[in-house]
Amino acid sequence: MYENVSKFEEELAEFTSSKYAIATDCCTHAIEICLRIQKPVSIKSTAYTYLSVPMTFKKLNLKFELTDEDWIGEYNLHGSNIWDSARLLKPKMYRKNQLQCISFGNGKPIDNKRGGAILCDSKEFYDKAKRMSFDGRDLSFQPWIKQKEFQIGYHYNMPIEHAIKLSELLKKYRQDGNFEPKKVEYPDCRNIVFTE
């Protein structure tokens, strides 16, 4: 049933030279999954990003500091091996032993309006993140009700129809060959007040 998602994950991993890719419903949830699994003590991150990133830090009660760091394509969540690579997608972009979170949202290198992925080289991380993105499900159980024990998970998986479309878009993107990231202006998230 999820063969199309697996096919897209394999195509994305091959394109980026990562061992694995975990398809998600959006890049923010990809970052959240990485943070939940890695459990960093604190994060330093650029203040010039989309507001969902510092919101995720707040949501997870994570100690964080926003900085003046300038970036193009991707930036590191310092204090972790997690990267927000939402504005970057190119061949052999994967960084060894890192977690790079990709976006297929509005204005991204491949614009599917929504979608994300995590690039990694650890089978252990892949298995845990894959299950976490699928409500804690082990996809070898079909139907899911046959599974009796679940790790805590979230409904962050990529819909099958998105994976099918993204496979087509990735093929076209490869053929076009324009992979250089562009500078994108974001507001300073230190000026945003978060309320409950």
Structure tokens that stand for 7 in this block: 């096919």
CA–chain centroid gap for 75, Å, is 13
pLDDT of residue 59: 95
pLDDT of residue 1: 59
Confidence of residue 18 (pLDDT cuts 50, 70, 90): very high
Count Cβ atoms within 10 A of the Cβ of residue 103 and give its class: 0-12 exposed, 13-18 middle, 19 or more buried: buried
**CB neighbours of residue 27 within 10 Å:** 26
C-alpha to C-alpha distance for 23 and 130, rounded to whole angstroms: 8
Give me the residue spans of the domains in the chain.
3-191
Q: What is the pTM of this model?
A: 0.96
The Cα-based distances of 141 to 35, 91, 96, 148 in angstroms read 27, 34, 32, 10
Checking if the pLDDT of 139 tops 90, the result is no
Confidence of residue 151 (pLDDT cuts 50, 70, 90): confident
- CATH classification code of 3-191: 3.40.640.10
